[in-house]
Amino acid sequence: MHFSSKYLDLQSSPLFPFGFGLSYTTFSYAHLTLSDTVITPSGTLRVTVDVKNTGSRSGDEIVQLYIQDETASVTRPVIELRDFSRITLLPGEQKKVEFSLTPESLAMYNRSMQWFVEPGGFRVFVGPNSAEHLVRSFRVGAEQ
């Protein structure tokens, strides 16, 4: 007897991405900027983004910041939620949202189980959930 599963033919992505939320209004994200493109392992990176209420009602938005370590020496998650900020916007209102990526935000345990920031490339994702976001890159260089 042959059994076939219709589930094998379907897209394997989730119905709703992590961080997804419903609202009575819509928001747009623009001008994702980083304070620098290279920082030291003990440095802090400032991340800013403009969020605008493009709908006709006031509403709350959870602005989410994720990171991705492009060249980790150990396996890390594909993206990691590192910060979020809840804002309330009136119709047509725009706010600049600022985050700080500190060494604690970028650190990981290495193979020797030491907590440290590994030099290399990183990506920053900012948006309303884990699937919709703006992206910028930066590097962590050697300590000076």
Q: With a cut of 70, say whether residue 77 has pLDDT above it.
A: yes
Convert the pLDDT of each residue in 101-123 to its tens digit.
Answer: 999 999 999 999 999 999 999 99
pTM across the whole model: 0.88
**Is the pLDDT at 130 greater than 80, yes or no?**
yes
Question: Is the Cβ–Cβ distance between 117 and 94 less than 8 Å?
Answer: no
Domains in the chain, CATH or no CATH each = 17-140 (2.60.40.10)
Question: In the predicted model, is pLDDT for residue 138 greater than 70?
Answer: yes
Q: Is residue 1's pLDDT more than 60?
A: no
Q: Stretch 78-82: mean pLDDT, rounded?
A: 95
CA–CA separation, 135 and 144 (whole Å): 27
25-50 residue pLDDT tens: 999 999 999 999 999 999 999 999 99
Judge whether 104 and 43 are in contact, CB under 8 Å. no
Q: Are 108 and 115 in contact (CB under 8 A)?
A: yes
Averaged pLDDT for residues 60-78: 94
DSSP 118: P
